[in-house]
Structure 1
Amino acid sequence: MEDYYTGATGYDDIVQILPPTKPGKRLRFFNRAALITDADLNSDNTIKKSSWRLCTVQQVEDFKKIIGILPLWTSSIFLATPIAIQSSLTVLQALVMDRSLGSHFKIPAGSVSVIILISTAIFLTFLDRVILPGWHKVTGKSPTPLQRIGVGHVLNVLGMVVSALVESKRLKLGHEHVSMSVLWLFPQLVLVGVGEAFHFPGQVTFYYQQFPQSLRSTSTAMISTLIGIAFYLSTALIDQVRRCTEWLPDDINHGKVDNVYWMCVLFGGINFVYYLICSISYKYEYENV
Structure 2
Amino acid sequence: MARSVDTEAMTTRDPSSKRGGWKTFPFMIATLLGLSIASFGWVMNLVVFLIKEFNIKSIAATQNSNIVNGCVSMLPVVAAILADSFFGNIPVISVSAFISLLGIILLTMITSLDHLRPPPCETGSILCESPSKLQLGILYIALALVIIESAGTRFTLASAGANQYEKPKEQGSFFNWYFLTLYTGAITGATAIVYTQENASWKLGFGLCAVANLISFIVFVSGKRYYKHDKPMGSPFTNLIRVVVAATRKRKAVISSREEDYHHGLGREGKTSSAMPSKSFRFFNRAALKTEDDSVNNNWRLCSVQEVEDFKAVFRVLPLLLAIIFVSTPMVTQTSLIILQALVTDRGLGPHFKIPAGSLQVIVIITACIVILMNNCLVYPMYQKLAHKPLTPLQKVGIGHVFIILSMAISAIVEAKRLKTVTNGHSMSVLWLVPPLVIVGIGETFQFPANIELFYREFPESLSSTATSLTSVVIGISFYLSTALITLIQKTTKWLPNDINHGRVDNVYWLLVIVGVLNFGYFLVCAWFYRYRNLNDDDDQEQDPKDDTT
TM-score (normalizing by structure 2): 0.49
Output aligned runs, 1:37-116, within 5 Å.
Answer: 37-41=291-295, 47=296, 49-116=297-364
8 A Cα contact 1:160 1:261, kept in partner: yes
Quote how far apart the aligned CAs of 1:206 are.
1.5
What is the distance in 2 between the residues matched to 1:248 and 1:128? 40
What is the distance in 2 between the residues matched to 1:40 and 1:134? 54
- Whether 2:294 is the aligned partner of 1:7: answer no
**Cα-to-partner distance string for 1:41-60 (whole Å, 9 max, x where unaligned):** 3xxxxx3x333332212111
Q: Which runs of 5+ in 1 are unaligned?
A: 42-46
Q: CA RMSD in A?
A: 1.9
What is the distance in 1 between the residues matched to 2:449 and 2:389? 17
Q: Which runs of 5+ in 2 are unaligned?
A: 1-253, 538-550
Which residue in the other structure is 1:225 paired with?
A: 473
Matching residue's letter, 1:136 = Q
Matched residue SS, 2:354: coil
| Number of residues of Structure 1 aligned to a counterpart in Structure 2 | 279
8 A Cα contact 2:342 2:430, kept in partner: yes
Matching residue's letter, 1:22 = M
2:420 to 172, 177, 189: 172
8 A Cα contact 2:452 2:468, kept in partner: yes
Identity of counterpart residues, as a percentage? 50
- Whether 2:280 is the aligned partner of 1:26: answer yes
- Whether 2:392 is the aligned partner of 1:144: answer yes
Matching residue's letter, 1:4 = Y
What is the distance in 1 between the residues matched to 2:455 and 2:266? 29
Matching residue's letter, 1:138 = L
What is the distance in 1 between the residues matched to 2:279 and 2:382? 39
Quote how far apart the aligned CAs of 1:6 are.
1.8
**Cα-to-partner distance string for 1:7-31 (whole Å, 9 max, x where unaligned):** 138xxxx964652243222111112
Taking structure 1 as reference, are residues 84 and 26 closer, same or farther at Cα in structure 2, changes over 3 Å only? same
Matching residue's letter, 1:182 = V
Matched residue SS, 1:40: coil
What is the distance in 1 between the residues matched to 2:455 and 2:461? 11
What is the distance in 2 between the residues matched to 1:26 and 1:127? 34
Which residue in the other structure is 1:44 paired with?
A: none
- Whether 2:451 is the aligned partner of 1:203: answer yes
Question: More deviation in 98-107 or 14-23?
Answer: 14-23
- Whether 2:429 is the aligned partner of 1:181: answer yes
Quote how far apart the aligned CAs of 1:232 are.
1.3
8 A Cα contact 2:265 2:273, kept in partner: no
Which residue in the other structure is 1:239 paired with?
A: 487
TM-score (normalizing by structure 1): 0.90
Quote how far apart the aligned CAs of 1:283 are.
1.6
Output aligned runs, 1:145-164, within 5 Å.
Answer: 145-164=393-412
Higher helix share: 2
What is the distance in 1 between the residues matched to 2:498 and 2:465? 45
Structure 1 residue runs of 4+, over 6 Å off?
A: none
Which residue in the other structure is 2:10 paired with?
A: none
What is the distance in 2 between the residues matched to 1:184 and 1:87? 15
**Cα-to-partner distance string for 1:258-285 (whole Å, 9 max, x where unaligned):** 0100011011111111111111111222
Question: More deviation in 97-106 or 129-138?
Answer: 129-138
What is the distance in 1 between the residues matched to 2:292 and 2:428? 76
What is the distance in 2 between the residues matched to 1:175 and 1:145? 46
**Cα-to-partner distance string for 1:90-134 (whole Å, 9 max, x where unaligned):** 011011111111100111112211211111112111222221222
8 A Cα contact 1:17 1:58, kept in partner: no
